[in-house]
Copies of this chain bind each other. A is one copy, B any other.
């Protein structure tokens, strides 16, 4: 199959609030007051985790179907730690983003442990967001001179 292109565009509404459009969907990103924001939406790293969980859900159902078992529901919990020192410009010894991400998957299905092991291996190998977090991705940033 040929490559698929996905895109978003958006505008700041205030220093912490950004409204992105993805096709016909609006995504409101902000920070809580404790991080200097106006709290009109989840924050960027919470969206990052949600994106990853949504991806694991889709892949989990797709691959359960391929392996011949019914996945009734999938519950996911996810968390990650980051040190805000670099973000706030206080220190550059630590990385800016999540240092690690922990994922707990609770599948509701009648399935053997062996098949479940095969399932999760396949889910991780084929989930796009898992790949983009686990591995490096080239990014090209262009700044258009101010209007």
Against B, the Cβ 8 Å flags (1 = close, 0 = not) of A15-32 are 111101011010101111
Given the contacts A139-B101, A146-B111, A6 and B45 also touching, CB distance less than 8 Å: yes
Scoring A45, A103, A106 by chain B CB atoms within 10 A of each residue's CB, the highest score goes to: A45
State which residues 61-109 of A face B: CB under 8 Å.
61-63, 65-66, 71, 73-90, 92, 95-109
Number of chain A residues close to chain B: CB under 8 A: 115
Chain copies in complex: 2
* A residues with CB within 8 A of B: 1-12, 15-18, 20, 22-23, 25, 27, 29-32, 37, 41-55, 57-63, 65-66, 71, 73-90, 92, 95-111, 113, 116, 120, 122, 124-147
- Asked whether, in the complex, the Cβ of B137 is within 8 Å of the Cβ of A76, the reply is no
Which listed residue, B51, B83, B130, touches A47 by the CB 8 Å rule? B51
Q: What are the 10 tightest A-B residue pairs by CB atom distance, in nearest-first order?
A: A29-B54, A97-B131, A15-B61, A7-B79, A44-B55, A47-B51, A97-B132, A22-B46, A20-B50, A22-B42
